[in-house]
Structure 1
């Protein structure tokens, strides 16, 4: 997949089948759009492309929201490439771009800059200043602009449409299995192993503290069954998100105990896939109670069907 980081310097007029959106998490709803994009591009002999924005527009419009994302730009790029997108266009959501009206966006970006011949958008997609662009405007202008447009219906999970927001809500509630089903893969985090307080090693449960990208959403505080990948090797693990209240901690940390593992991995990049929720964060009466619960969690993790 080609990644075009600066749209202003893109001057290729290769005809495109294109979709537009944040595609945070590249969930099942996004995958439905991408599958149709790939099918159309093959049928019409067009290159497939996706126009996305970085940073997320909500960080511009609502900077106080402290929005956390399902995927970093690197993770999103990997997932989109994995699903067969040929071109990824990154558009900075700067002042000039955010002030384009719907009509200007269609004329200047879709037609003149990207030479779009077929456009696919999601069921609720809007664009342009004050959300002045939508499917109706696209249908109206498409014949004049020389492209076809189609809108893809949402994918449902239960009674609700799958969306990045729904998945973030599921993670924030500790509903890991629901989030994974909507994503169609296991939610993951990755980062460098850093030094912590090393309390775990004194009770027989040494943990690797993971430095997490500040943009990534973390699931609800608590304990989880996880896959751990270290130097391309797979291990079972139990991960804790919390402040270690039993030992009067007050700083949020992400720590993973890796089963059947005894190596120094400080400074190594590791990744973790969430498989199941064990329990919420607990303040135990003492270390003996903590160890007893860790023993229970270890048994559950050992017996988990990975």
Structure 2
């Protein structure tokens, strides 16, 4: 898959495209119905399968919604889409100026002239153009005039999956990782850099790696203890992760700390991606460090049981 950061950089005039459009946050099962159809259609038609997405998220720009939390960082979304076998991912900067394009300008200048679109595969409820005032029927009309085909994915087909990014966000905020992962079809991921902490975990016999996530818009699941896995130095390791404030040792700052089982390497300053598998419990304030240590032993035992299953 070739990733292009700005429509104006798309220069492949030798091929025409089959395209779908959206934010695709989470790239969940509902999205995959559209993407699978896009890829299969493109192969049959001799077109290049292309996803057009936008960053920042339109709500961040138009509604100044700085509190919006997304399931994927841009890097994570690119990684997932790449695994599906697309030809092109085009990430176009979303600005107020771009949002003011009329439906006609968007279709004529962006889709037809810019991306050489011959087929658009899109969900039944897609809206586009200034103030999102055009719908799929308008798109079909444009297609008849500008010589491209529109394939609508009907409500029933998408709703059969009964998945939405909002449902997944809500599940994660409630700590329901199993439901979120079933909708995503992959373990919810956190990607960041390992930074030095206070070293308290090591004193307790549970050395931890502190995960720093740069993207403030990334959704962090509910505070608590989780079972996780990660690829470290080419091998898969499991562990347990705490999201929270470490109240037993008077923590004041929210942290994400992972204790990897059977890993002894140095991860400081390395980028690491964590897959979250299960949630074990809430974060608690224990009466003593000794009580916390005993609980951590139980957490590890519980984690290993879940991993073995």
The match for 1:246 among 234, 245, 248 is: 248
Per-residue CA shift, 1:3-57, capped at 9, x if unaligned?
A: 2212123343321100000111211111111110011111111111110101111
Is the contact between residue 230 and residue 269 of structure 1 (CA under 8 Å) also seen in structure 2? Answer: no
Change in Cα spacing, 1:65 to 1:5, as seen in structure 2 (3 Å) is closer
Q: Quote the residue 1:71 is aligned against.
A: 72
Q: Quote the residue 1:292 is aligned against.
A: 294
- The answer for unaligned runs of 5 or more in structure 1 is none
Change in Cα spacing, 1:286 to 1:156, as seen in structure 2 (3 Å) is farther
Structure 1 segment 71-220 matched on structure 2, within 5 A? 71-152=72-153, 153-156=157-160, 161-214=162-215, 215-220=217-222
Shift of 1:87: 0.8
The 3-state SS of whatever aligns with 2:158 is: coil
- The answer for unaligned runs of 5 or more in structure 2 is none
Q: Quote the residue 1:19 is aligned against.
A: 20
The match for 2:237 among 235, 238, 242 is: 235
Is the contact between residue 16 and residue 117 of structure 1 (CA under 8 Å) also seen in structure 2? Answer: yes
The 3-state SS of whatever aligns with 2:46 is: coil
Change in Cα spacing, 1:155 to 1:213, as seen in structure 2 (3 Å) is farther
Q: Quote the residue 2:285 is aligned against.
A: 283
The 3-state SS of whatever aligns with 1:154 is: helix
Q: Quote the residue 1:5 is aligned against.
A: 5
The match for 1:257 among 247, 255, 259 is: 259
CA distance, structure 2, for counterparts of residue 200 and residue 123 of structure 1:
51
Is the contact between residue 240 and residue 300 of structure 2 (CA under 8 Å) also seen in structure 1? Answer: yes
Q: How many residues align?
A: 303
Shift of 1:65: 4.0
The 3-state SS of whatever aligns with 1:304 is: helix
Shift of 1:222: 0.4
Q: 1:41 aligned to 2:42? A: yes
Shift of 1:104: 2.0
Is the contact between residue 42 and residue 48 of structure 2 (CA under 8 Å) also seen in structure 1? Answer: yes
Is the contact between residue 61 and residue 96 of structure 2 (CA under 8 Å) also seen in structure 1? Answer: no
Which has the larger displacement, 230-239 or 120-129?
120-129
Structure 1 segment 269-280 matched on structure 2, within 5 A? 269-280=271-282
